[in-house]
């Protein structure tokens, strides 16, 4: 695999209000965010020139910063405009966007009350996460790490530190040949994959774990709205691992993953079916609509 490093590409990155050449968007090594994971970020997708649910992502970014005890020094309107400006500067209409806010270099210790808060936004072309074979479904292995309790980590924030166990889990299952990891929560309940929420079809109903120790994804909420529009009963509840043997369909939902069928979790095999296919299609169509239409269909 030829990797094009993320620091050696053409384009412009928005940084604290300026567009800087991509290769110049560098940090000092003694940055608090790097040492202590005092960073929050977003993953957004722009389709046909519109960032899907831009304001929801911006609001979550600001909220994640507040959960980590800092205030991003830009308003939601300014952040939205900066995302749009970054896309335009890079000439992209279909892309992935990565805003990130972090504590700077003024202090380098656990206590970091007087660090400056920075914000950068990058974007790049990123087609479907799981490629053309998406409808065949992906395979999830059981993660060796559990999502922590909400009083153990800032689980409601899209915070860099929460991804440490995601990377460890994904690496562990990739070593065994799985596509991604199925993570349990601290009580042993089904939680999510390393970068997307999970849905199960039980007797024609759509069930998804209550997001009490992991992100309540924007795609997750969108899929729930789309399912309800289709008159599918949607149930949020605690789902235990021994129940999933009786699910008829399983899929993931996330900004990067979009709606992705799952064909295996550990020893359990599934066949992507009618409900998954319908929601894959409904989501694909929804993301292409102008924001006002999206708001009407999946508020």
Q: Could you give the residue numbers annotated as active site? A: 158
Residues binding ligand PMP: what is the number (CB under 6 A)? 15
Other C-beta atoms lying within 10 Å of the C-beta of residue 239: 22
Does residue 215 touch ligand PMP according to CB under 6 A? Answer: yes
Q: Report the alpha-carbon distance of residue 30 to residue 51 in Å, rounded.
A: 33
Give residues with Cβ within 8 angstroms of 120, minimum separation 6: 13, 14, 15, 16, 25, 99, 100
| Distance (Å) of CA 250 to CA 36, 69, 293 | 36, 36, 28
Does residue 219 touch ligand PMP according to CB under 6 A? Answer: yes
Does residue 192 touch ligand PMP according to CB under 6 A? Answer: yes
Q: Which DSSP letter does residue 115 get?
A: P
Nearer to ligand PMP, 68 or 218 (CB): 218
Nearer to ligand PMP, 192 or 282 (CB): 192
Does residue 220 touch ligand PMP according to CB under 6 A? Answer: yes
Minimal distance, residue 42 CB to ligand PMP, in Å: 7
Sign (positive/negative) of CA torsion 282, 283, 287, 293?
positive
Minimal distance, residue 211 CB to ligand PMP, in Å: 8
Among 99, 104, 254, 272, interactor with ligand PMP by CB under 6 A: 254
Q: Identify which range of 8-16, 65-73, 103-111, 214-222 contacts ligand PMP by CB under 6 A.
A: 214-222
Asked if residues 196 and 214 have their Cβ atoms less than 8 Å apart, the reply is no
Nearer to ligand PMP, 112 or 287 (CB): 287
DSSP 90-150: TT-SSEEEEEEEEE-SS--SS--TTPPEEEEEEEE----TT-TTGGG-EEEEEEEEEEPPT
Residue at shortest CB range from ligand PMP: 217
Give residues with Cβ within 8 angstroms of 217, minimum separation 6: 196, 197, 211, 253, 254, 255
Among 185, 217, 261, 272, interactor with ligand PMP by CB under 6 A: 217
Build a one-symbol-per-residue string for 122-161: x at contacts with ligand PMP by CB under 6 A, - elsewhere: ------------------------------------x---
Asked if residues 96 and 124 have their Cβ atoms less than 8 Å apart, the reply is yes
Does residue 255 touch ligand PMP according to CB under 6 A? Answer: yes
Nearer to ligand PMP, 61 or 117 (CB): 61
Which residues here bind ligand PMP, judged by CB under 6 A? 43, 158, 166, 192, 195-197, 214-215, 217-220, 254-255
């Amino acid at each position: 695999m030829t990797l094009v490093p993320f620091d050696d590409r053409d384009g412009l990155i928005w940084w604290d209000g300026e567009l800087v050449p991509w290769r110049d968007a560098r940090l000092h090594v003694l940055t608090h965010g790097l040492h202590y994971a005092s960073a929050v970020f977003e993953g957004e997708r722009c389709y046909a020139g519109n960032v899907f649910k831009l304001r929801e992502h911006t609001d979550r970014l600001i909220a994640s910063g507040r959960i980590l005890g800092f205030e991003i020094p830009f308003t939601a309107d300014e952040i939205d405009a900066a995302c749009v400006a970054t896309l335009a500067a890079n000439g992209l209409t279909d892309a992935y966007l990565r805003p990130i806010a972090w504590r700077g270099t003024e202090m380098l210790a656990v206590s970091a009350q007087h660090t400056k808060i920075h914000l950068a936004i990058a974007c790049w072309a990123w087609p479907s996460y799981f490629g053309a074979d998406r409808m065949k479904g992906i395979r999830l292995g059981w993660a060796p790490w559990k999502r922590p309790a909400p009083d153990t980590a800032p689980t409601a924030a899209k915070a860099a530190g929460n991804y440490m166990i995601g990377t460890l889990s994904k690496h562990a299952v990739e070593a065994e040949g799985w596509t991604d990891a199925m993570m349990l929560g601290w009580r042993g309940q089904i939680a999510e994959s390393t970068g997307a929420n999970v849905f199960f079809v039980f007797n024609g109903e759509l069930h998804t774990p209550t997001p009490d120790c992991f992100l309540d994804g924007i795609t997750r909420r969108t899929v729930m709205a789309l399912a309800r529009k289709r008159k599918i009963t949607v149930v949020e509840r605690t789902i235990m691992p021994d129940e999933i043997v009786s699910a008829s369909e399983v899929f993931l939902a996330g900004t990067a993953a979009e709606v992705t069928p799952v064909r295996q979790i550990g020893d359990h095999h599934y066949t992507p079916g009618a409900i998954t296919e319908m929601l894959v299609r409904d989501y694909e169509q929804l993301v292409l609509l102008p924001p006002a239409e999206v708001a009407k269909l999946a508020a």
